[in-house]
């Protein structure tokens, strides 16, 4: 694809996003402050008396007390704009989960296509509604902002002033014209970035794309022969195997599968080669738990009394996460003149 065609596609995409944001404006201030990035209905599957151990990976030596599933796995103002309407999108999937989970427990899940689709959508939900996607979104926004300024820099100042006046009827003085015009042209972008409106639209669209991709493939449900699973605060992980090594990748299209712990004794595998239920040995359970620890932003959640605190501490003491590139905290301030 050549550069003009890429620019044209970006412009069309930007117009679509602006149109969707405009539709959501009446919902903009209807917010949910503490939003789960790990569904409460999922955390309950790791809980005892509705409480899970919230293990702080930055302070592993601390005593980690059980916390309520109502507050664990939440991020304040994860999506700050029109979040109540987005929570309704998530609820449409989460409300179906108990029935699908019952089918998993009974072992007859593959007799119920509607439950299979619920579990696939649940995987997509946790990949889209994730701290990983949040960081990637703002990184992409910053790159788009830089590209826009680079494009303005390539236009001679006199031509830029004349074109701007032709389209807006506004006269801009020669001194500081590029910065003034750039700031005015970029204002909708920066406003939507700071308010979180573009994130609100982007995250729902990403969910739709992931749901379509995962629904088109098979689902495997894995149980441990011994041991149990834990879950991180970035739980849905695209993975691929190279030889005997299982590793995380960023893009779904680069993965062989996408895994999501589904309680102490189950793990969902989206994009699997076939619909199946399989039991895995303890070393594979450890491998999958390690991936959760490595991919997490700051916390993993585990069943009280599971003893998995020792597993996590041992992994960290052996150098785990030391080579990991820290996930950058989200930035909503990219809209400043370079």
Q: DSSP assignment of 167-228, as one string?
A: HH-----STTHHHHHHHHHHHHHHHHHHHTHHHHHHHHHHHHHHHHHHHTSEEEEEEESSS-
Asked if residue 6 is part of any domain, the answer here is no
Q: Which helix (H) or strand (E) holds 75?
A: strand 74-76
Asked if residue 106 is part of any domain, the answer here is no
Asked if residue 250 is part of any domain, the answer here is yes
Asked if residue 123 is part of any domain, the answer here is no
Do 145 and 177 lie in one domain? The reply is yes
Do 236 and 149 lie in one domain? The reply is no
Do 228 and 256 lie in one domain? The reply is yes
Do 142 and 229 lie in one domain? The reply is no
Contact between 170 and 52 (Cβ < 8 Å): no
Helix (H, G, I), strand (E, B) or coil at 30: coil
Do 309 and 253 lie in one domain? The reply is yes
Q: In total, how many domains does the chain have? A: 2
Asked if residue 163 is part of any domain, the answer here is yes
Domain termination residue (choose one: 145, 168, 198): 198
State the pLDDT at residue 7: 61
Asked if residue 294 is part of any domain, the answer here is yes
Helix (H, G, I), strand (E, B) or coil at 239: strand
| Paired tokens of 262 | 């589904």
Return phi, psi of residue 286, to 5°: -60, -40
What's the CA angle centered on 212, arms 210 and 218, to 5 degrees? Answer: 95
Q: In sequence order, what are the residues at sequence separation of 6 or more whose Cβ sits closer than 8 angstroms to the Cβ of residue 123?
A: 210, 214, 236, 258, 260, 268, 270
Q: Name the pTM for this structure.
A: 0.88
Asked if residue 85 is part of any domain, the answer here is no
Domain termination residue (choose one: 198, 226, 247): 198
Do 192 and 253 lie in one domain? The reply is no
Contact between 334 and 138 (Cβ < 8 Å): yes
The domain of 192 spans: 137-198
What's the CA angle centered on 216, arms 211 and 221, to 5 degrees? Answer: 85
Q: In sequence order, what are the residues at sequence separation of 6 or more whose Cβ sits closer than 8 angstroms to the Cβ of residue 177?
A: 157, 160, 161
Do 192 and 241 lie in one domain? The reply is no
Do 171 and 260 lie in one domain? The reply is no
Phi-psi domain of 309 (left: phi exceeds 0; alpha: psi -120 through 50; beta: other): alpha
Asked if residue 21 is part of any domain, the answer here is no
Could you list the mean pLDDT of each consecutive 10-residue stretch along the chain, which spans 338 residues? 60 78 90 96 98 96 94 95 96 98 97 98 98 91 84 83 78 77 81 91 95 97 98 97 86 93 98 96 97 96 96 95 64 42
DSSP string, 263-322: STT-EEEEEESS-EEEEE-HHHHHHHHHHHHHH-SSEEEE-TTS-HHHHHHHHHHTTTTT
Long-range contacts made by residues 85-91, C-beta under 8 angstroms, separation at least 24?
85/24, 85/27, 85/30, 86/200, 86/203, 86/204, 87/32, 87/35, 89/204, 89/207, 90/39, 90/125, 90/129
Q: In sequence order, what are the residues at sequence separation of 6 or more whose Cβ sits closer than 8 angstroms to the Cβ of residue 328?
A: 135, 138, 139
Helix (H, G, I), strand (E, B) or coil at 91: helix
Return phi, psi of residue 181, to 5°: -65, -45
Do 227 and 308 lie in one domain? The reply is yes
| Paired tokens of 138 | 């703002």
State the pLDDT at residue 180: 80
State the pLDDT at residue 146: 87
Do 264 and 189 lie in one domain? The reply is no
State the pLDDT at residue 141: 86
State the pLDDT at residue 327: 59
State the pLDDT at residue 334: 46
């Amino acid at each position: 694809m050549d550069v003009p065609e890429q620019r044209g596609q970006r412009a069309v995409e930007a117009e679509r996003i602006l149109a969707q944001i405009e539709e959501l404006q009446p919902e903009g201030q209807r917010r949910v402050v503490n939003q789960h990035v790990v569904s409460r209905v999922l955390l309950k599957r790791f809980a005892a008396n509705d409480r899970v151990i919230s293990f702080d990976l930055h302070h592993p030596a601390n005593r980690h007390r059980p916390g309520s599933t109502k507050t664990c796995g939440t991020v304040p103002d994860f999506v700050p704009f029109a979040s109540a309407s987005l929570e309704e999108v998530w609820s449409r999937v989460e409300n179906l989960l108990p029935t699908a989970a019952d089918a998993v427990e009974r072992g007859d899940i593959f007799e119920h296509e509607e439950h299979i689709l619920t579990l696939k959508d649940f995987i997509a939900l946790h990949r889209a509604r994730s701290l990983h996607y949040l960081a990637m979104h703002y990184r992409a926004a910053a790159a788009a902002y830089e590209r826009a300024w680079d494009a303005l820099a390539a236009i001679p100042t006199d031509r830029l002033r004349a074109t701007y006046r032709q389209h807006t009827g506004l006269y801009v003085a020669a001194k500081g014209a590029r910065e003034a015009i750039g700031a005015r042209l970029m204002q909708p972008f920066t406003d939507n970035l700071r308010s979180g409106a573009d994130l609100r639209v982007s995250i729902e669209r990403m969910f739709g794309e992931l749901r379509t991709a995962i629904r088109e493939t098979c689902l495997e449900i894995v149980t441990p022969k011994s041991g149990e699973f834990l879950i991180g605060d970035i739980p849905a992980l695209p993975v691929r195997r190279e030889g005997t090594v299982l590793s995380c990748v960023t893009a779904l299209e680069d993965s062989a599968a996408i895994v999501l712990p589904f309680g102490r004794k189950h793990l969902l595998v989206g994009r699997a080669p076939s619909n199946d239920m399989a039991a895995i040995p303890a070393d594979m359970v450890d491998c999958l738990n390690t991936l959760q620890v490595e991919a997490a932003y700051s916390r993993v959640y585990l069943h009280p009394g599971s003893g998995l605190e020792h597993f996590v501490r041992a992994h960290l003491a052996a150098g785990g996460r030391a080579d990991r590139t820290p996930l950058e905290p989200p930035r909503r301030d990219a809209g400043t003149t370079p």
